[in-house]
Amino acid sequence: MEPGGTPQWHRFAHWPRGAARAALAAIVVLLLWAFLSAPLPLPQTPVNGANRTASAVTAKRDTDLALYDRVSERVVAGDPYYKAAVEEQRARNFPVRPAVAVRLPTLAFLTGLMGGEAEGVILLLAVIAAATWYVRLAAEPGGDPRKVIGVACLIIGMASGLNPKYLVLHEVWAGLLVALAIGVHRPGKWGWALLAAGGALAIREHVLPFVLLLGAMAAWRRDWREAGAWGALVLAFLGYMAWHFSKVDPLLLPGDRPSDGWLALRGMRGLTGNVVETSPLQFLPALIAAPLALLPLVGWTGWKSPLGTFCTLLCAGYGLFFMIAGRDNNFYWALVVTPVWFAGLAFLPLTLGSLWRRAFAR
């Protein structure tokens, strides 16, 4: 306990009044920024039976899923993965340049092996991840009273990805494995976390910042053995990517379509748009959903525990990434972190309550 009887895991409980008021003002500014950057309601004038913007996004999403379905089918039928992937992307006028535009082969092989059992496997993975979070939250200072609501919020973040329609989407599997890795990780006991994070990284390269953060936190604790393990995983991944590029490059033709740039600099719209489109918030009006998308991050900031600090840095880092990189049709990237993101809602009352008391209580 800190002076005054406040638990140490209340991050803002002893902030000076001015700092607490500044923090609340910053939250209000961020929510207002999210509100102002949200897309306005689409005009009702139809274009070929549908709104132009809506039809473009829907078509892009559906063609992505159809592509991954077809590649997986061809791999199961015996076609080499890279031949199937490049040919299918070329036939659909998808970019194949640079080589990173072609997905890693891991998930195509896994879904092919699982066949009709893939839906059951992903549901089992979600249940295991939720169970590990229940145990992890109970073991963290200040987490036990919030373990039920925390797991419920985690499941809310998983909900969109668990639609059977999205079984071939790489980010869905990667996001569940990221959540599992966090749930089983403990300082000094990280073997299972290394395995889960390695699986996520082998499926989608966007997991790399998560692995780097795990390594950085281990180094901060001066646990050089764990930091070395995460460093070895990064080196293994870089080797995998080099091998991947060596398989794609010989198949490329001079006339192949290059990818549009990913450095879109969408700002707050990139962050809130990605979170909204990969969660149940998508069913709310955009002007309401956009500010709500920031509240889980606000919640994480107030929990001063190993898990709270890690998830604050993780979500803030990916949020900044979405503000800088990714086009509107790359919204599904957020599925890598959406489950963890929404778990922060469990700590929103803690954060806002502490700040309000410090800012205005006598």
pLDDT of residue 41: 62
DSSP 301-317: HTB-SHHHHHHHHHHHH
Instruction: Print pLDDT tens along the chain (362 aa).
Output: 444 557 888 999 989 999 999 999 999 999 999 999 998 764 443 333 333 333 333 334 468 889 998 998 899 899 999 999 999 999 999 999 999 999 999 999 998 888 789 899 999 999 999 999 999 999 999 999 999 999 999 999 999 889 888 888 999 999 999 999 999 999 889 999 999 999 999 999 999 999 999 999 999 999 999 999 999 999 999 999 999 999 999 999 999 999 988 899 999 999 999 999 999 999 999 999 999 999 999 999 999 999 999 999 999 999 999 999 999 989 999 999 999 999 999 999 999 999 999 999 86
pLDDT of residue 345: 98
pLDDT of residue 64: 85
The dihedrals phi and psi of 272, each to the nearest 5 degrees, come to -65, -35
d(Cα 174, Cα 195) in Å, to the nearest integer? 12
Say what the pTM is: 0.92
Reference 170, options 68, 260, 93, 265; nearest CA is: 68
pLDDT of residue 116: 80
CA distances from 204 to 60, 101, 170 (A): 19, 12, 6
> Which tokens sit at 207?
């997991």
Residues near 218 by Cβ (< 8 Å), separated by ≥ 6? 187, 190, 224, 226, 227, 230
Half-sphere exposure of 56 (CA within 13 A, CB side): 9
Sketch the domain layout of the chain as residue ranges: 119-360
pLDDT of residue 120: 94
> Which tokens sit at 149?
């609501």
- ∠ CA 183-147-341 to the nearest 5 degrees? 60
Residues near 192 by Cβ (< 8 Å), separated by ≥ 6? 181, 184, 185
DSSP code of 78?
T
Residues near 47 by Cβ (< 8 Å), separated by ≥ 6? 55
* SS3 assignment for 114-170: HHHHHHHHHHHHHHHHHHHHHHHHHHCCCCHHHHHHHHHHHHHHHHHHHCHHHCCCH
d(Cα 157, Cα 136) in Å, to the nearest integer? 17
pLDDT of residue 88: 95
pLDDT of residue 163: 87
pLDDT of residue 187: 86
Helices 208-220 & 191-203 angle (0-180, nearest 10): 150
